[in-house]
């Protein structure tokens, strides 16, 4: 039986590059967390952040690391997040209500990186006649 060819209603080569998402540069930001809504919004930003944050607790302790998990609830006292410590493999549970200050202190490891940039480099190498093209990720300082 002959192989059937399918025609697409679009050109897949034109879809190769989709517009990316613009991310706010949060490096160095110290958001206000005085009100419950501010606190919740700041932790959501920190959860989406691709770098380390520094948290200062109301008891005076400070931790630096990556927020990798959070548990939210309508009751603020039940909300907590987990932070992977920068200096160890320790996972620290922190209640939202224990937080005194949040700072975006680490470098955003994905800032300036985009799929569009990767595709552009790939196409440049392909147009230059290179074969076995390999694009490695940039080193993280």
b/e sequence 4-23, b meaning 16+ C-beta within 10 Å: eeeeeeeeeeeeeeeeeeee
**What was the pLDDT predicted at 14?**
62
Given CATH 2.60.40.10, say whether it is the number of domain 27-132: no
Domain boundaries, the chain: 27-132
pLDDT at residue 89 tops 80: yes
Mean pLDDT (whole number) for 15-26:
62
List the single range of 31-35, 72-76, 107-111 with lowest mean pLDDT.
Answer: 107-111
Phi then psi for residue 70, to 5 deg, are -150, 150
Say how many C-beta atoms besides its own lie within 10 A of residue 44's C-beta. 14
Residue 110 has which token pair?
């994905």
Q: Which residue has better confidence, 123 or 32?
A: 32
List the single range of 2-11, 68-77, 129-138 with lowest mean pLDDT.
Answer: 2-11
pLDDT at residue 56 tops 60: yes
| C-alpha–C-alpha distance, residues 120 and 113, integer Å | 12
pLDDT at residue 129 tops 80: yes
Q: Mean of the per-residue pLDDT values for the chain?
A: 83
pLDDT at residue 8 tops 60: no
């Amino acid at each position: 039986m002959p192989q059937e060819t399918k025609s697409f209603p679009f050109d897949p080569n034109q879809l190769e590059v989709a517009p990316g998402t613009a991310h706010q540069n949060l490096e160095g930001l110290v958001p206000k967390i005085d009100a419950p809504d501010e606190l919740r919004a700041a932790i959501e930003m920190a959860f989406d952040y691709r770098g380390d944050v520094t948290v200062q607790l109301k008891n005076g302790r400070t931790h630096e690391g990556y927020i990798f998990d959070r548990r939210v609830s309508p009751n603020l006292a039940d909300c907590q997040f987990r932070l992977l410590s920068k200096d160890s493999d320790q996972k620290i549970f922190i209640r939202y209500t224990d937080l005194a200050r949040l700072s975006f202190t680490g470098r955003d490891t994905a800032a300036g990186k985009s799929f569009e940039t990767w595709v552009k480099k790939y196409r440049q190498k392909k147009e230059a006649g290179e074969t076995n093209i390999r694009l490695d990720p940039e080193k993280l300082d």
